[in-house]
Amino acid sequence: DAGVTQSPTHLIKTRGQQVTLRCSPKSGHDTVSWYQQALGQGPQFIFQYYEEEERQRGNFPDRFSGHQFPNYSSELNVNALLLGDSALYLCASRSSRLAGHEQFFGPGTRLTVL
């Protein structure tokens, strides 16, 4: 049973560019959340997708957008990249049908903006 997978592992972009990160949830999971973890900090919630719609959003600008596909996989898009967007981006999945609140995390995508 594959866990949460993310691609790519690492990414280097320059300021002003756009980036797309991808996430496949754990088998049986239908809800995907994205988190940004800057160096030396705890993860910060970006947004959550369920039934192909954004359900919750953290305190992030509109440059951050996402999408969820019918197979529950998800993308995180960041436009007009800033140096401060350099971080580890984590994807987490859960099942809406289970009572527990546990979320499973992927290994993350390390984004470096130069």
Partner 1 sequence: AQSVTQPDIHITVSEGASLELRCNYSYGATPYLFWYVQSPGQGLQLLLKYFSGDTLVQGIKGFEAEFKRSQSSFNLRKPSVHWSDAAEYFCAVISNDYKLSFGAGTTVTVRA
Closest CA to 46 of 67, 15, 26, 29: 67
CB nearer partner 1, residue 75 or residue 105: 105
The stretch near partner 1 (CB under 8 A) out of 22-30, 34-42, 64-72, 75-83 is 34-42
Q: Which of 7, 17, 41, 112 is in the footprint of partner 1 by CB under 8 A?
A: 41
Percent helix, strand, coil in the chain, to 5, is: 5, 50, 45
Report the nearest approach of partner 1 to the CB of residue 93 (Å): 11
CA 46 to chain centre: 7
Q: Is 63 in the site for partner 1 (CB under 8 A)?
A: no
Nearest-angstrom CA–CA distance, 68 and 109? 18
Q: Which of 48, 68, 74, 93 is in the footprint of partner 1 by CB under 8 A?
A: 48
